[in-house]
Amino acid sequence: MKTTTCLLLAACAAQLSGAAARAADYVTTVENTPGLLGYWRYTPGTGANSSVNGYTGTFEGNAALGVPGTGPALAIDPVNEPVALDGSNGTYVDTNLVGGINQAGSIVGWFNLAALPSTAGHIFTVAGESQGGNDFDLQVETDNRLRFYTNGGGAVTDPTAFTATDLNQWVFVAATFTSGGNATLYIDGTQVAQGGAGTHGNGTGTFAMGESDVFTGRFFQGALDEIAVYSTELSANQVGAIYNSAGMVPEPGTWATVGTGAAGLGLVLRRHRVGRT
């Protein structure tokens, strides 16, 4: 029994060590993926500002940095902080990034629902650069489904609705498109929906997180973090590389026990949605 336990401990330690090394590259992977326009990490050093390209941001209403350690668990940042949004009118993050999305674009990041839109009674905007006829909007609607709009009224929809079991959990999302080509949604690195993107011209909207600057009243209730916007359509491999670079790091509430009795070792894995069908 002692030999078996030691082997399990060694194997698990090696697994966590390798995963932590991968996670340490998350920020580098995001920043080195071509086409990056802005990247909002919500750290105490940058606050609501982008960590690249000099775009500024403003916490509107009750928007504020969350408690250290409550953001998505990245080994590079064990006290990662998100932006906390209470869903009240006027609470979101505005930026001075205007335009930049023309024939292609992508939104990548993490969101954590504190309530369902069906309960709140309104759409929750994750992020986007709204403009009538040239939509670039990622949002969870009142049927609790994630949608990505890339033209006037056209959307690609995740077929799986969020439920109460998804509340208070971090979800990785990527939404990508090319004008006249495809729009694709990914959840936790896996493609969940794809459809025609329609046509998209030179966008002139303002990029915002947690609310639309055009289609107002869509205040997000929960938290957002690591929001990146690209002027290119990311490939499935690029999305997978970003997601996989997050790795596994300690996080309360998701213990997996290895061994038996007093010899058991608790290992905490990065929390994410599992069992989606």
Return the pLDDT at 254.
37
Burial 110-141 (b: 16+ CB within 10 A, else e): bbbbbbbbbebeebbbbbbbbbeebbbbbbbb
Return the pLDDT at 8.
39
Q: Which of 28-32, 74-78, 155-159, 186-190 has the lowest mean pLDDT?
A: 74-78
| Confidence bin at 4 (pLDDT 50/70/90) | very low
Return the pLDDT at 193.
97
pLDDT per residue as tens digits for the range 45-96: 889 999 999 999 999 999 999 999 999 988 777 889 999 999 999 999 999 9
Return the pLDDT at 268.
31
Q: Which residues are paired to 177 by β-bridges?
A: 105, 183
Residue 101 pLDDT exceeds 80 = yes
Q: Quick one: average pLDDT of 12-29? A: 57
CA gap 5, 94 in Å, rounded: 52
Q: How many percent of the chain have pLDDT more than 70?
A: 80
Q: Which of 21-35, 168-182, 185-199 has the lowest mean pLDDT?
A: 21-35
| Domains of the chain, residue spans | 26-247
Pairwise pLDDT comparison (35 vs 274), residue with the higher score = 35
Which value, in Å, is the radius of gyration of the alpha carbons in the chain? 19
CA gap 88, 228 in Å, rounded: 24
CA–CA–CA angle 185, 190, 191 (5° rounding): 40
Residue 41 pLDDT exceeds 50 = yes
Q: How many percent of the chain have pLDDT more than 90?
A: 67
Return the pLDDT at 247.
75
Predicted structure pTM score: 0.83
In order, the DSSP letters of 68-110 are: TT-S--BTTBTT---EEEE--TT-EEEEEEE---SSEEEEEEE
The CATH-assigned architecture of domain 26-247 is Sandwich (2.60)
DSSP assignment letter at 165: G
Region of 78 (left: φ > 0; alpha: ψ -120 to 50; beta: rest) is: alpha
For residue 95, count other CB atoms closer than 10 A to its CB.
23
Residue 258 pLDDT exceeds 50 = no
Pairwise pLDDT comparison (86 vs 268), residue with the higher score = 86
Q: Which residues are paired to 174 by β-bridges?
A: 108, 186
CA gap 39, 13 in Å, rounded: 32
Task: Return all residues near 41 (Cβ < 8 A) that are at least 6 apart.
Answer: 27, 51, 225, 226
Q: Beta-strand (E) ranges in 8-53?
A: 36-40
Residue 249 pLDDT exceeds 60 = no
Output the CA torsion 248→251→255→259 (10° steps): 60
Q: Quick one: average pLDDT of 98-115? A: 96
Q: Which of 88-97, 144-153, 187-196, 221-230 has the lowest mean pLDDT?
A: 144-153
